[in-house]
Structure 1
Amino acid sequence: MRKKRRRNKKSLPVIPLFFIASAGTAGFYVTKTAEGIGMGIVAYFVLYIAFKIWLKSLKTRKLRKSGIREVDKMTGEDFERFLGELFKRRGFKVSYTATSGDYGADLILKDGKDIIAVQAKRYSGTVGVKAVQEIIGAVKMYEATEAWVVTNSHFTRQAEKLADINDVYLIDRDELIQIMLNKR
């Protein structure tokens, strides 16, 4: 078995320092003053922040345009972000829970006085009762008025039965596609 190469962590800060120094040098070259160095560095940081914001908006647009096949390739965390963007587009205020210790809810949706706890399950197989049990526990924790489990797959009969008894709304692959197409 081959050993994985480790990156030299000491060389990583050199790249940003190079760009900062280049920006300062460019500022000095243009203005021929010490203030030009500062202006060049400030310009670099402004451009860097603008670039980061642009990348984030590009990622958000990509998530919004995703089809079900792209959803199937997403990680669980990407699926949660995708659902957040989808529900924002439908008028909900969306907040994300912590990735661990979330008490069974991945998203909290607010629509007026309704609070909806959402469990997101990006699965290749069927979703069982565990997902429904987790969201039932989250209802009290987040003082939610509704509980939903959303998947890119389908639910087992047992999960459907448990959800029916506990008033948990299940959104399976077919309904998710309809929501994505804005038909529902």
Structure 2
Amino acid sequence: MTRKDKDDISEILWTGLVGLPALAAFVIGFHLSHSAGTAGIIAGVIAGIGIGILLLRRISADEKLKRSGTHDIDKMSGRQFEYYLGHLFRTQGYKVQVTRESGDFGADLIIQKDGKIIAVQAKRKKGSVGIDAVQEVQASIAHYKAHEAWVVTNSRYTEAAKSLARSNRVRLVDRNTLVEMINKVNPKGLPSSPASIDR
């Protein structure tokens, strides 16, 4: 199950947690007061509290997204995104090598930590990332003598890409996971502006 699916289920559950208590409050209120008006007021108050909680959750999620600076990332060129990811991985303790712009053999970054070499392909784009990215980074493992391969994007993946990644043990980092990574290392800040991302 993807993170998006989990988020959708969570939203449905929270919506249910607003509706069910309001309905229960109406039934109990009507049973005790024998007045539809009084029961409606009680149910309205309960629903209002629930809606307030939902709004706070949504605002919190929006603030998390803003802190991550993904809108800045969306404006970067592909090469700027590669260097930005290099900065991000360094803050997580990785040794980072950004590969050359052309002839990179399928990996944009080679990151190392605890003796493990990981080939990373960076995909900064608007649409969904397809199977090509998975195929290319998987092919780079032998060339770079890597132990793992990752694809990192500011976007989403097609179902075909997810399926191929699973069968080839390629880790896919999507927009939501990228947001979490950024907030973990930089909870109050934003990424550098696109123009300032360099080597």
Q: TM-score range by the shorter chain?
A: 0.5 to 0.7
Greater length-normalized contact order (CA 8 Å, ≥ 6 residues apart): 2
1:7-156 correspondence to structure 2 within 5 Å: 67-156=69-158
Aligned partner of 1:71: which letter? I
Q: 4+ residue stretches of structure 1 with deviation over 6 A?
A: none
Name stretches of at least 5 consecutive residues in structure 2 with no aligned partner: 1-66, 186-199
Alignment of 1:143-182 (within 5 A): 143-182=145-184
Number of paired residues?
119
Consecutive unaligned residues in structure 1, runs of 5 or more: 1-64
Task: Give the AA of the match of 2:158.
Answer: T
Deviation string, structure 1 residues 76-127 (Cα, Å, up to 9, x no partner): 0000000000000000000011100000000000002100000000010000
* TM score, norm. by length of structure 2: 0.58
**Alignment RMSD:** 1.2
2:118 maps to a residue whose letter is I
Tell me, in whole angstroms, the C-alpha distance in 1 between the residues paired with 2:140 and 2:180: 26
Partner-residue secondary structure (3-state), 1:181:
helix
In the aligned structure 2, how far is the partner of 1:86 from the partner of 1:107? Answer: 12
Give the distance between the partners of 1:122 and 1:137, measured in 2 at CA: 20
The TM-score, its normalising length taken from structure 1, stands at 0.63
1:160 and 1:66 map into 2 onto residues whose CA distance is: 24
CA distance in structure 2 between the aligned counterparts of 1:162 and 1:181, rounded to whole angstroms: 29
Shift of the alpha carbon at 1:66?
A: 6.7
Q: 1:66 to 1:175 in 2, by over 3 A?
A: closer
